[in-house]
Amino acid sequence: MRKVVRGFYAIAEAVRLSRPNVIAAYPITPQTEIVENLAEMYANGELGDTEYVTAESEFGAASMVLGASAAGARAFTATSSQGLLLMTEVLYNAAGMRLPIVLVVANRSVSAPLSIWNDIQDSISIRDAGIIQLYVESNQEAHDMIPLAFKVAENRDVLLPFMVCVDGFKLTHAYEPVDLLDQETVDKFLPPYEPVVKLDIEKPAALGCYAPPPYYMEFRVAMEMAMERAREVMLKEFEEWYRLTGRDWGGYVVAENCEDAEVVVVAMGSIVALIREVVKQMRKEGKKVGMLKIRTYRPFPHEEVRKALKNAQKVVVIDRALSIGAEPPLAADVKSALFGLSPEFHSVVMGLGGRDIPREQIEKLINDVLEGKAKPGKRFEGLYEFEEVIP
């Protein structure tokens, strides 16, 4: 059923349809409305046998879904920014324990200074935790990715947490027409969760136990192997989703007009929609420009990125996060994928803390690179002149 809804409702409805056993929640802007909608569904008896638990903190919420998942439950939570950072210790444990928790991160900048607005510094900061990360462009994609996240995470060849990253406010609070799923469709795609192993007094097992040096490294390498296997599992489920719903979101990446492009812009998240419109218009003007959307940041699609950018003379990577003291995160990964190739490389950081990125700024950025007016290397766009004052 196609309806105009806000992003947080589209996400909550997809969670409901995925029949989770346990939802643990703690509010934080701009994620709060996701769990508020789920709480309302719970109060109205729309969540069936789901246990909805209000935690005392994000650390508590993450600990609850970890325990529930370890006991064999399909578990969900959501958070943002400092809340995600407070969950981090638990999420590293969940990944190491191979628990297929699904969480939505409504992306928000990280303090200090305090900001409730959008960039993707929060989820990027835990990219090495062993959690699958997928960045969505629209609320329809966010809605569709929830059942898919559960199915991929729960695959016995994967068994890793899955994070669906949704731009806070820009998507979570935006009204968009969304083709809402129905229960029959989701049930056909996502079977009931049958854990491979769980905490069970009838069949005792230990999870997350002590691993001295002779054992620890093997556990971590096993996580790496699982992340690699997730690539194949995700492709299969992307195709299955297309067959079932008719909605093709692509694979790990979506490459548009890259084959003959002199300049290709690489980005992920909701900014992709704006870049696509700019690229379309510039194509009509006869300019050879293209766009590469990164969907899965972990596992990172090195081969697909390299293939899409192999003919590009100039590559522009837009980051909305920093790795202070090093290359911006997405730029570093793209540069690694292009090792041995030599396109002119532009690493552009913009939109931190929710700073607006107008269409004209993207047009000027691409035109400057196309016409050779911009020097390659790292730079900040949309930055005001300022003086750092240290008393």
pLDDT by residue (tens digit) across 130-166? 999 999 999 999 999 999 999 999 999 999 999 999 9
Identity (one letter) of the amino acid at 363? E
Structure tokens that stand for 179 in this block: 């083709």
Task: Please determine, looking at this structure, whether the domain spanning 254-380 carries the CATH number 3.40.50.1100.
Answer: no
Which CATH number applies to 2-245?
Answer: 3.40.50.970
Classify residue 257 as left (phi > 0), alpha (psi -120 to 50) or beta: left
Beta bridge partners of 255: 292
Task: Give the start-to-end residue ranges of the domains of the chain.
Answer: 2-245, 254-380
Give Cβ neighbours of residue 260 (< 8 Å, ≥ 6 apart): 288, 290, 311
Give the ranges where the chain is alpha helix by DSSP (H). 7-17, 32-43, 58-70, 81-96, 121-124, 139-154, 183-189, 213-245, 271-284, 302-309, 329-337, 359-370
Supply the mean pLDDT for the chain: 97
Q: Helix-strand-coil percent breakdown of the chain, rounded to 5?
A: 40, 20, 40
Please tell me the predicted confidence (pLDDT) of residue 244: 97
Residue 68 and residue 52: Cα distance in Å, rounded? 11
Structure tokens that stand for 45 in this block: 């008896």
Q: What is the DSSP string of 105-158?
A: EEE---SSSP--S--SHHHHTTTTSS-EEEE-SSHHHHHHHHHHHHHHHHSTTT
Please tell me the predicted confidence (pLDDT) of residue 119: 98
Please tell me the predicted confidence (pLDDT) of residue 173: 98
pLDDT band at 337 (very low <50, low <70, confident <90, very high): very high
Nearest Cα neighbor of 177 from 136, 125, 210, 140 is: 140
Q: What b/e readout covers 305-322, taking b as 16+ CB neighbours within 10 angstroms?
A: bbebbeebebbbbbbbbb
CB atoms within 10 A of CB 328: 23
pLDDT by residue (tens digit) across 277-331? 999 999 999 999 999 999 999 999 999 999 999 999 999 999 999 999 999 999 9
Please tell me the predicted confidence (pLDDT) of residue 384: 95
Average pLDDT over residues 46-55: 97
pLDDT by residue (tens digit) across 71-122? 999 999 999 999 999 999 999 999 999 999 999 999 999 999 999 999 999 9
Please tell me the predicted confidence (pLDDT) of residue 71: 97
Could you tell me the pTM of the whole model? 0.97
Same CATH topology for 2-245 and 254-380: the answer is: yes
Q: Note whether 87 and 26 are within 8 A (CB).
A: no
Please tell me the predicted confidence (pLDDT) of residue 285: 97
